[in-house]
């Protein structure tokens, strides 16, 4: 298996990192870019097994804002299946939306997540056993229990020598043994079926969740070849299926290649139409299957189970639904595959086939009037095209440089390697990164936990700036190089828009000083406030790596000095000393609501109140949970009322999850206006909370016309629908049981009601 990572982008080059597969091969690299005319450049390299190769490919006119695609085709240097003919591609830059004009109110959706702890593959129980043995030995040597996050061991122990000699091995063993050991045992005791993977990638489900249809073929069948149109007999919806492998050819022989143990999972593109539940599916008037549904919704994901003894359609056969008329084609753009491309020794299923339409429940699927199987529902599909995400927002902690060993030296290549490891361990994550445009910001774990410019570094002989410089450079190379500009080449904050909706992505980490009570510098604050005023009437999202609206409680024990200092009054020297000490140690003292940054937070709140900023929603991460929170500024008949909203997405993949007790369900505070010193109250409320499992937030923006007016552009009211999605399940948390306390469902709507007074 070979891996590909896109790194730094300059005006004339793109940095590419490749790791060789299990044997020698030749990789042909090509870059494709341009809107009206495709420009390509390619060259070949020899890949040695398990060796790294870094190529800086020059290309005239390539900029940080250019959308490009890098394709690498691997050809084996020896016989056998290997990686022969396998192609892997990654899209870089930011996709532009040429059909979307700024200010055009158009419905769309996006994903919000954070905190992706990279996944190590468990090749054998030996690695797990060694990790657990090492954990037990450390526990006995220290004579105390080891927390799974406590990696700051005392110096001079036996493991210090081991860490220095075998850092990579220790990272693997400790992550598997200490982190996954607990999760592995927990899942094993919950009746997990033997033979199925204990650890699943959340990104595989995210890749497939928004694909619309799926066809499963029964064993002993010849599948319909790629290139056929599928239709619904009732709905008459039609469309074409196209082929795109999610796993490289070299892994097909292993037999572990995607959902359902298929020998080759592949995605198929949209087919527009409204298939109905229960209708037959046909190819050229021949029934191939009948659609079935396992949910009440009409518009769903479907699978087609082909009947035994029947001959499946070939390439370009049109598959239709006998009742709905929904249709689609199995198509192979490269024309390389035939009906026997799957390994017939497997149970036999083509998985993750995307077909847009509304097949009827129990509908027969047909090819040329010949029934090939029946369709069945896999998961609820979003009923409208715009509910498929247009892009993905990452609110920080894309990597964990300080996990599991915090005392790592801040070397540039170590930070680069962390990005490569995080994005190459999971093939589904690679596909997920390539499938959507991604907008990211960084948080502390891209540098080290609880980073601040005046904080304490993990190594006593180093300062925070020794970590910040290489961490920021690696972040610019692997992430920020493809972000939109707008505030100069040195800033890490940026803006973008999608139609009539505007986004401001804050940099809340690299400019913070605890003792100065500063989270963002004056330049960023000015740019942010100017942006708020410029779009005061528009719907706008602000991305912050840490919570802004929700009030986070100080963690007990380590933050006890905070309460003592506040009880004694912050003006006394004793209180100031305790407060200063707490600001260095506080586990939750890096949020907007903490005393260190509350002054800047209230400056923003006062600006929103004074300028009457409307339709403002914060998108945050960091807390390993999903929630919806609100803030009301002002109270009573004499105050104008402003409302702020906040959605937290994540974590994509984490083992340490948040609890609702970490938040204040209701917090009331006041601030004084700068002009007259008037005290204005503001109240934060945690409305919905979900911390039971890894999850992300699916956010949909819709527009509804105002009453009693015509529907011109200025007469549309935006509304937001949000929904928590668990990537490792086929349904939503609301259908999984174990709902959060005081929360009837993990979904809701935000309606912006314009009122002058409360």
Encode 505-546 in three state secondary structure.
ECCCCCCCECCCCECCCHHHHHHHHHHHHHCCCCCEEEEECC
User: Which residues neighbour 186 within 8 Å (Cβ) at sequence distance 6 or greater?
Assistant: none
Structure tokens at 88: 């892997």
d(C-alpha 609, C-alpha 533), whole Å? 11
- CA dihedral (547, 553, 555, 561) positive or negative: positive
pLDDT at 343: 27
Rounded mean pLDDT for each run of 10 residues along the chain, 758 residues in total: 42 51 51 48 55 54 52 42 33 41 77 78 42 57 46 43 48 45 34 36 64 38 47 55 32 28 29 50 61 31 39 50 53 30 29 40 61 49 60 91 79 86 68 74 94 92 94 86 75 90 96 94 96 95 97 62 42 46 57 94 94 95 93 72 89 81 92 81 92 86 66 68 74 35 65 57
pLDDT at 225: 42
User: Which residues neighbour 696 within 8 Å (Cβ) at sequence distance 6 or greater?
Assistant: 111, 112, 113, 206, 626, 649, 650, 652, 724, 725, 727
C-alpha closest to that of 277 among 317, 241, 234, 248:
234
pLDDT at 746: 80
DSSP tag of 482 = G
DSSP tag of 177 = I
Could you list the beta-strand ranges (E) of 324-388.
327-331, 363-367, 370-380
Alpha helices in 390-503 (DSSP H): 412-424, 427-435, 464-478
pLDDT at 44: 60
pLDDT at 271: 31
Print burial letters for 148-179: b (CB count within 10 Å at least 16), e (below 16).
beebebeeeeebeeebeeeeeebbbbbbbbbb
pLDDT at 229: 59
d(C-alpha 725, C-alpha 94), whole Å? 25
DSSP tag of 397 = -
Residues in the chain: 758
Question: Can you give the C-alpha Rg of the chain in angstroms?
Answer: 27
- What architecture does CATH give domain 4-103? Sandwich (2.60)
C-alpha closest to that of 649 among 411, 449, 392:
392
Q: How many CA atoms lie within 13 A of 2 on its CB side?
A: 35
Quick count: other Cβ atoms within 10 Å of Cβ 260? 16
Residue with tokens 């598997």: 176
Residue with tokens 């990164």: 433
d(C-alpha 20, C-alpha 49), whole Å? 5
pLDDT at 373: 59
The rounded Cα 584 to chain-centroid distance in angstroms is 31
CATH topology of domain 111-118+388-553+589-751: Purple Acid Phosphatase; chain A, domain 2 (3.60.21)
Which H helix or E strand runs over 142?
helix 125-142
């Amino acid at each position: 298996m070979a891996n590909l990572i896109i790194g730094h982008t300059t005006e004339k080059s793109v940095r590419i990192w490749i790791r060789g597969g299990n044997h020698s091969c030749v990789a042909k690299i090509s870059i494709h870019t341009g809107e009206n005319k495709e420009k390509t450049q390619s060259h070949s390299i020899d890949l040695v097994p398990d060796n790294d190769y870094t190529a800086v490919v020059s290309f005239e006119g390539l900029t940080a804002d250019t959308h490009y695609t890098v394709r690498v085709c691997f050809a084996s240097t020896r016989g056998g299946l290997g990686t022969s003919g396998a192609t892997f591609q990654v899209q870089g830059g930011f996709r532009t939306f040429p059909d979307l004009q700024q200010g055009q109110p158009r419905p769309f959706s996006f994903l919000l997540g954070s905190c992706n702890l990279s996944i190590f593959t468990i090749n054998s129980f030996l690695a797990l056993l060694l990790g657990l043995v090492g954990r037990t030995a450390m526990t006995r040597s220290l004579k105390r229990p080891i927390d799974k996050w406590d990696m700051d061991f005392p110096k001079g122990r036996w493991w210090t020598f081991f860490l220095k000699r075998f850092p990579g091995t220790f990272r693997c063993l400790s992550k598997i043994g200490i982190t996954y050991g607990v999760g592995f045992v927990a899942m094993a005791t919950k009746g997990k079926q033997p033979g199925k993977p204990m650890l699943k990638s959340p990104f595989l489900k995210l890749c497939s969740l928004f694909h619309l249809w799926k066809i499963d073929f029964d064993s002993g069948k010849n599948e319909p070849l790629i290139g056929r149109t599928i239709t619904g007999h009732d709905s008459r919806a039609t469309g074409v299926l196209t082929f795109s492998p999610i796993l490289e050819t070299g892994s097909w022989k292993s037999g572990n290649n995607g959902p359902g143990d298929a020998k080759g999972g592949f995605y198929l593109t949209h087919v527009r139409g409204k298939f109905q539940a229960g209708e037959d599916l046909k190819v050229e008037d021949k029934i191939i299957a009948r659609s079935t549904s396992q949910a009440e919704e009409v518009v769903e994901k479907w699978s087609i189970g082909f009947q035994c003894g029947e001959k499946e359609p070939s390439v370009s056969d049109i598959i239709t639904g006998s009742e709905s008329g929904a249709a689609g084609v199995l198509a192979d753009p490269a024309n390389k595959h035939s009906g026997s491309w799957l390994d017939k020794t497997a149970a036999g299923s083509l998985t993750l086939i995307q077909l847009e339409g509304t097949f009827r429940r129990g509908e027969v699927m047909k090819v040329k009037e010949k029934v090939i199987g029946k369709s069945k529902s896999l998961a609820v599909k979003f009923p409208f095209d715009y509910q498929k995400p247009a892009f993905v927002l990452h609110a920080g902690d894309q990597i964990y440089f300080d996990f599991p060993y915090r005392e790592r030296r801040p070397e540039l290549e170590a930070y680069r390697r962390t990005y490569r490891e995080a994005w190459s361990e999971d093939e589904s994550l690679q596909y997920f990164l390539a499938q959507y445009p991604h907008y990211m910001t960084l948080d502390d774990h891209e540098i080290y936990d609880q980073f601040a410019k005046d904080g304490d570094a993990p190594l006593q002989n180093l300062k925070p700036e020794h970590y910040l410089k290489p961490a920021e450079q690696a972040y610019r190379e692997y992430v920020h190089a493809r972000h939109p500009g707008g505030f100069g080449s040195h800033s890490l904050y940026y803006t973008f828009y999608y139609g009539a909706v505007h986004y401001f992505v804050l940099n809340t980490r690299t400019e913070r000083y605890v003792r100065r009570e500063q989270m963002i510098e004056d330049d960023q604050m000015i740019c942010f406030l100017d942006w708020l005023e410029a779009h005061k009437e528009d719907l706008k999202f602000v991305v912050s790596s840490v919570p802004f609206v929700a009030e986070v409680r100080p963690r007990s024990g380590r933050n006890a000095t905070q309460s003592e200092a506040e009880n004694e009054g912050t003006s006394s020297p004793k209180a100031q000393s305790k407060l200063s000490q707490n600001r260095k140690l506080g586990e939750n003292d890096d949020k907007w609501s903490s005393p260190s940054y509350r002054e800047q937070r209230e400056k923003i709140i006062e600006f929103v109140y004074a300028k009457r900023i409307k339709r403002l929603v914060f998108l945050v991460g960091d807390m390993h949970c999903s929630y919806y929170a609100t803030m009301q500024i002002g109270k009573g008949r004499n105050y104008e009322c402003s409302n702020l909203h906040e959605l937290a997405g994540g974590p994509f993949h984490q083992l340490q999850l948040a609890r609702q007790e970490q938040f204040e369900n209701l917090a009331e505070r006041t601030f004084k206006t700068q002009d007259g010193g008037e005290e204005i109250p503001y109240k934060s409320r945690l409305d919905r909370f979900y911390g039971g499992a890894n999850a992300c937030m699916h956010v949909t923006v819709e527009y509804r016309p105002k009453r009693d007016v015509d529907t011109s552009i200025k007469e549309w009211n935006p509304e937001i629908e949000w929904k928590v999605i668990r990537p490792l399940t086929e349904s939503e948390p609301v259908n999984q049981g174990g709902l959060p306390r005081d929360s009837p469902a993990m979904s809701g709507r935000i309606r912006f009601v314009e009122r002058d007074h409360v």
